[in-house]
């Protein structure tokens, strides 16, 4: 049955290179006790120009409560070079959400296989979607462990488990840190160089997990590098609420970049207009917003004119918006004259709404333009390519974690009105002189604006000589663009080798 499935996926997706050499299966779970499932394949591929033999393992790790009850089943997918080298770097990877499975980074960026979807911001259409060898995988420089935290991917909480024990900033980080410790111990990798990273909320998770791994007194796991892709650490940069001006400041450079891409603003390059917008945003624009109703008319007019030049929006519209245009309004307004909206995750994408009169877009064309291909690919690869057996649905974006998420950093009563986890990264770097940080941002990403990442990472307490900032000509998931996937891979190889 497994062999027939493997042959089917080879034919359907043209896997080509790897062949099944070995399979190790654990017994099925009994009715009373969950026996963790393990599926192993010995494969090979060419990554970064090197031919690499590797072992692919899909494994369930069981987390138990203090009373011994099996509470969470966490699925990891690891790719380890054969024969094993304990001195080789190992890179622990997850996505964001909270509630997102590791499908995006695994099947789009760094796994040995990737889904083939259009690179030029076109919709991915209908299946079949090709599953391709991924020469941009990092397997030539590091072993890779993709983690699906509780409530994401195929990972789940057992019946009767209180979701509040796992769904939250601290709660999630403790579970992920425990899975990492177990993997290190089970694979004899305590003295291997270690890298940790994720995308979107996965960058928030990284700040929390490094605090769990390095911040305690016992069982410290020191890390060599943190990898942040599409960073959100300081949540003041999210969609604004009345009185919060910072979100308008950090999203302005994104608006300028999007306007330039769609021919609504002029500059020699996206880098050039992004820099113009940074200077204006942190200078005259921020000053004007902070003056509120005391802003003089002459200064207001000058700011409005420059804002119009950078964003491609009319001065009339900017005046009606009181100089404060939310991202959602911008998606609808920028190309209204063409009857199009632009994407949130990636402003290169465009969509057509039911009508052109609304204030906000019907949906995000940069998400529905890629999601079907990724969902098909991860299910085909894990179930048929690697033989993982389950009747559960793969949660690419699971709803349950977000419904229960505890956003408070405090263990006591009350809540954090201003959530910023960047200081946890600063603390980890100050207390570990060998810890470096790699940050990757797309110019067209409104979900996690690049200027917001810069703002959060240049605060006091974060050693700037160990921070690398890298930029890409696409959006939140920059690896959907072929040129950016290759550049991201090259940049990360250099970062890992530079230790």
Domain final residue, candidates 321, 345, 364: 364
Tokens read off for 443: 């110019």
What average pLDDT does range 220-234 have in this prediction? 96
My answer on whether 348 and 379 are in the same domain is no
d(CA 365, CA 342): 7
Q: Give the model's confidence band at 416: pLDDT under 50 very low, under 70 low, under 90 confident, else very high.
A: low
Q: What is the β-pairing status of strands 90-94 and 143-148?
A: parallel
Tokens read off for 189: 């990798």
Rg of the chain taking only CA atoms, in angstroms:
23
Find the range with the poorest average confidence among 75-84, 215-224, 398-407. Answer: 215-224
My answer on whether 158 and 279 are in the same domain is no
Give the burial class of 101: count Cβ atoms within 10 A of its Cβ; 0-12 exposed, 13-18 middle, 19 or more buried. Answer: buried
Residue 424 lies in a domain: yes
My answer on whether 250 and 230 are in the same domain is no
What average pLDDT does range 73-87 have in this prediction? 96
What average pLDDT does range 65-69 have in this prediction? 92
Q: Which residues contact 54 (CB under 8 A, 6 or more apart)?
A: 42, 43, 44, 45, 79, 80, 81, 82, 112, 139
Find the range with the poorest average confidence among 148-162, 380-394, 415-429. Answer: 415-429
Residue 61 lies in a domain: yes
Judged against a pLDDT cut of 70, whether residue 7 lies above it is answered with no
Domain final residue, candidates 364, 393, 409: 364
Domain final residue, candidates 323, 342, 364: 364
How does pLDDT run across 357-375, given as a tens digit for each residue? 999 999 999 988 888 999 9
pLDDT at 30: 41
My answer on whether 98 and 196 are in the same domain is yes
Give the burial class of 129: count Cβ atoms within 10 A of its Cβ; 0-12 exposed, 13-18 middle, 19 or more buried. Answer: buried
Percentage with pLDDT > 90 across the chain: 83
pLDDT at 12: 38
Judged against a pLDDT cut of 50, whether residue 432 lies above it is answered with yes
My answer on whether 213 and 108 are in the same domain is yes
Judged against a pLDDT cut of 80, whether residue 415 lies above it is answered with no
Q: Give the model's confidence band at 236: pLDDT under 50 very low, under 70 low, under 90 confident, else very high.
A: confident
The CATH number of the domain where 32 resides is what? 3.40.50.1820
What average pLDDT does range 243-247 have in this prediction? 89
415 or 43: which leads in pLDDT:
43
Domain extent, residue 302, equals: 242-364
My answer on whether 380 and 358 are in the same domain is no
295 or 30: which leads in pLDDT:
295
My answer on whether 291 and 405 are in the same domain is no
341 phi/psi in degrees, rounded to 5: -115, 165
Residue 296 has a CB neighbour count (10 Å cut-off) of 10
For CA atoms 450, 452, 453, 457, give the dihedral sign: positive
Query: In angstroms, how far apart are the furthest CA atoms of the chain?
Result: 76
My answer on whether 346 and 419 are in the same domain is no
Q: Which residues contact 252 (CB under 8 A, 6 or more apart)?
A: 277, 280, 281, 285, 307, 310, 311, 451
d(CA 153, CA 476): 20
Name the DSSP letter for residue 110: I
My answer on whether 288 and 255 are in the same domain is yes
148 phi/psi in degrees, rounded to 5: -100, 100
Which three-class secondary structure state does DSSP give residue 219?
A: coil
Angstrom distances, CA of residue 22 to CA of 84, 91, 157, 465: 16, 24, 30, 45
What average pLDDT does range 453-474 have in this prediction? 97
Matching residue, tokens 């899975």: 179
Give the burial class of 43: count Cβ atoms within 10 A of its Cβ; 0-12 exposed, 13-18 middle, 19 or more buried. Answer: buried
d(CA 21, CA 70): 33
My answer on whether 147 and 249 are in the same domain is no
234 phi/psi in degrees, rounded to 5: -105, 110
Looking at the structure of the chain, the number of domains it has is 2
Cβ contact 406:168 at 8 Å: yes
My answer on whether 285 and 388 are in the same domain is no
Q: Which residues contact 199 (CB under 8 A, 6 or more apart)?
A: 95, 96, 104, 105, 229, 230, 476, 477
How does pLDDT run across 277-293, given as a tens digit for each residue? 999 999 999 999 999 99
How does pLDDT run across 467-491, given as a tens digit for each residue? 999 999 999 999 999 999 999 999 9
Which three-class secondary structure state does DSSP give residue 427?
A: helix
């Amino acid at each position: 049955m497994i062999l027939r499935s493997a042959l089917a996926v080879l034919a359907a997706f043209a896997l080509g290179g790897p062949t099944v050499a070995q399979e190790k299966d654990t017994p099925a779970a009994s009715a009373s006790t969950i026996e963790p499932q393990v599926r192993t394949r010995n494969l090979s591929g060419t990554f970064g120009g090197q031919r690499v033999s590797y072992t692919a393992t899909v494994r369930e790790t069981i987390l138990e409560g203090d009373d011994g009850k099996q509470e969470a089943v966490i699925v990891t997918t690891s790719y380890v070079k054969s024969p094993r080298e304990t001195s080789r770097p190992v890179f622990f990877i997850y996505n964001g959400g909270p509630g997102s499975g590791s499908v995006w980074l695994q099947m789009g960026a760094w796994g040995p296989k990737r889904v083939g979807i259009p690179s030029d911001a076109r919709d991915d259409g209908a299946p079949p979607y090709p599953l391709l060898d991924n020469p941009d995988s990092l397997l030539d420089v590091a072993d890779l462990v993709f983690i699906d935290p509780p409530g994401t991917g195929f990972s789940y909480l057992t019946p009767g488990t209180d979701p509040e024990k796992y769904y939250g900033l601290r709660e999630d980080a403790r579970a992920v840190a425990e899975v990492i410790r177990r993997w290190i111990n089970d694979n004899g990798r305590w003295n291997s160089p270690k890298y940790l990273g994720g995308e979107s909320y996965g960058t928030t998770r990284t700040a929390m997990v490094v605090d769990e791994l390095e911040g305690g007194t016992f069982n410290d796991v020191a890390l060599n590098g943190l990898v942040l892709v599409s960073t959100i650490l300081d949540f003041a940069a999210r969609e604004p609420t009345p009185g919060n001006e910072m979100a308008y400041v950090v999203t302005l450079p994104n608006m300028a970049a999007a306007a330039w891409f769609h021919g609504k603003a002029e500059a020699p390059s996206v880098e050039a207009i992004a820099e113009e917008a940074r200077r204006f945003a942190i200078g005259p624009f921020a000053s004007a917003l902070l003056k509120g109703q005391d802003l003089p008319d002459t200064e207001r007019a000058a700011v409005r004119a420059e804002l119009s030049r950078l964003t491609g929006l009319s001065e009339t519209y900017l005046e009606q918006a009181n100089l404060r245009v939310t991202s959602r309004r911008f998606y609808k307004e920028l190309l209204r004259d063409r009857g199009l909206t632009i994407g949130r995750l990636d402003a290169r994408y465009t969509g057509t709404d039911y009508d052109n009169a609304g204030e906000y877009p019907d949906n995000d064309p940069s998400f529905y333009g890629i999601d079907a291909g990724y969902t098909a690919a991860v299910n085909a690869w894990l179930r048929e390519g690697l033989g993982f057996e389950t009747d559960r649905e793969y949660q690419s974006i699971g709803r349950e974690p977000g419904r229960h998420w505890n956003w408070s950093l405090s263990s006591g009563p009350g809540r954090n009105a201003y959530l910023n986890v960047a200081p946890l990264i600063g603390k980890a770097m100050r207390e570990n002189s060998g810890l470096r940080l790699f940050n990757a941002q797309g110019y067209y990403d409104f979900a996690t604006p690049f200027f917001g990442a810069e703002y959060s990472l240049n605060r006091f307490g974060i050693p700037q000589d160990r921070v690398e900032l890298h930029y890409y000509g696409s959006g939140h998931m920059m690896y959907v663009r072929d040129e950016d996937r290759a550049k991201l891979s090259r940049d990360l190889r250099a970062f890992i080798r530079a230790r």
